[in-house]
Amino acid sequence: MIARRIEKKVEEALSRSASVALMGPRQVGKTTIALNISDSGTAVYLDLENNLDLQKIQDINAFHAENSQQLIIMDEVQRIPQIFAALRGIIDKERRKGHKYGLFLFLGSASIDLLQQSSESLAGRIAYLELQGIDALEFGTGTIDKLNQLWLRGGFPDSLLASSDRNSLAWRRDFIKTYLERDIPQLGPRIPAVTLERFWTMLAHVQGGVTNASQLAKSLEVSATTISRYLDLMVDLLLVRRLQPWGSNVGKRLVKSPKIYVRDSGLTHALLNIENYNDLLGHPVAGGSWEGFVIENILSTVPDGVIPYYYRTAHGAEIDLVLEFSGREKWAIEIKRSSSPTLSKGFYLACQDIGPDKRFVVYAGQDQFNIGENITAIPLHQIMSKLLEYKGI
């Protein structure tokens, strides 16, 4: 079993909050983490897709009274958002008894924003955490082969650890089919599975591209408003990321539309029928896929309060990823697939515009070295470690 960093974060959050919501796509490892926490202490686990478990909490007050000394774990909580109003009363009652922390752990497949809309009644009583796939530090990508395996297959545990690339691809195809035909309809949207699959595949084809709703709408023969609705849904399901443009006033004509990434590289490749590493290297999406893969891994290690952006002007100045820390420190990060990275004039121009405190080029090698004045070429796992150890300027 691969240890996940977020397990410690969940335990820490439970020690300071009455309830914790751990959100992430299906099959990403939320239940395993919850069961590990359950095994290490006193807890009761409920799978709300199981009708028997669902019946147990029809009277949540009675169920809690019977299990008041245990952490109550509820899996797939987005299925019953109406429960949060009742939980507020239970939490407040326990607070008056002096039981302030670690009462409930919620697991859900919808996004943090979606759950927050349903749990406004728990304001001040709930902490939110997000789990994505296994990342480069957790998998241990100290060798090129392991790094390439993670990039090709993505971070879903069953895909990453499959016995072969073919079996991994089969798992991801089944995952996509299940999401489209069962999981999304359960959340309410009535969108034909074939239409949403075409849309998802279009996003994979333009991985890392700037949003062009009108072009997507024309290809899918729907309105731009419908495209926005589809995109909102995929973002809410934590399957797609919108990377917003950096927009401070630098007196330049900036690109103002977000970039779009399918968040898991393995799903990107499954949508494009890329089975093995050689096929990936020869595919036109390889550069965009690598960029998205690096961005997701970096963002899995950033400190709280960091806001990610990209920077691009109409005149060609560009930075793939800008990290703005809570103290206003900025890191400029360029992403290169090459093992011998070189920088374009656009990166230098962009750095002149925004004045980053640190400049990095994340590349596909294993050594760290200076590539120019105040610019460091660095492997993915090393910049992730820097972010985990970040203490500020």
Q: What is the pLDDT of residues 194-214, one digit of tens each?
A: 999 999 999 999 999 998 888
pLDDT band for position 253 (50/70/90)?
A: low
- Give the mean pLDDT of 27-46: 89
Comparing 251 with 61, the larger pLDDT belongs to 61
pLDDT confidence of residue 391 = 74
- pLDDT, average across residues 65-79: 90
Select, from the ranges 82-86, 200-204, 245-249, the one with the highest average predicted confidence (pLDDT): 200-204
Domain boundary among 80, 98, 130: 130
What angle do the packed helices 224-236 and 213-220 form, to 10 degrees? 100
Instruction: Let me know if residue 319 belongs to a domain.
Output: yes
pLDDT confidence of residue 103: 94
Encode pLDDT of 357-387 as tens digits: 999 999 998 899 999 889 999 999 999 999 9
Residue 239's pLDDT is 95
- Shared domain check, 219 and 238: yes
Count of structural domains, the chain? 2
pLDDT of residue 191: 86
What is the pLDDT at residue 66?
93
- Label each residue of the chain as H, E or C: CCCCCHHHHHHHHHCCCCEEEEECCCCCCHHHHHHHHHHCCCEEEEECCCHHHHHHCCCHHHHHHHCCCCEEEEECHHHCCCHHHHHHHHHHHHHHCCCCCCCEEEEECCCHHHHHHHCHHHCCCEEEEECCCCCHHHHCCCCHHHHHHHHHHCCCHHHHCCCCHHHHHHHHHHHHHHHHHHHHHHCCCCCCHHHHHHHHHHHHHCCCEECCHHHHHHHHCCCHHHHHHHHHHHHHCCCEEEECECCCCCCCCECCCCEEEECCHHHHHHHCCCCCHHHHHCCCCHHHHHHHHHHHHHHCCCCCCCEEEEEEECCCCEEEEEEECCCCCEEEEEECCCCCCCCCHHHHHHHHHHCCCEEEEEECCCCCEEEECCEEEEEHHHHHHHHHCCCCC
Same-domain status, 51 and 176: no
Task: Give the CA-trace dihedral at 315, 319, 320, 326, to 10 degrees.
Answer: -130
- Measuring CA to CA, how many Å separate 242 from each of 6, 124, 135, 195, 310? 23, 27, 19, 21, 10
Asked which of 97, 114, 130 is the last residue of a domain, the reply is 130
Per-residue confidence (pLDDT) for residue 120, from 0 to 100 = 77
Expressed as residue numbers, the domain containing 69 is 6-130
Of 20-29, 82-91, 153-162, the poorest mean pLDDT is in 82-91
Say whether pLDDT at 112 is over 80: no
- Residues 277, 360 share a domain: yes
Q: Which of 115, 130, 145 is the last residue of a domain?
A: 130
Q: What is the pLDDT of residue 269?
A: 99
User: Is 38 inside any structural domain?
Assistant: yes
Average pLDDT for the chain: 91
Residue 393 lies in a domain: no
Average pLDDT over residues 271-285: 97
The reported pLDDT for the residue numbered 339 is 84
Give residue-wise pLDDT tens across range 281-338.
Answer: 999 999 999 999 999 999 999 999 999 999 999 888 999 999 999 878 999 999 999 8
Q: Are residues 357 and 224 in the same domain?
A: yes
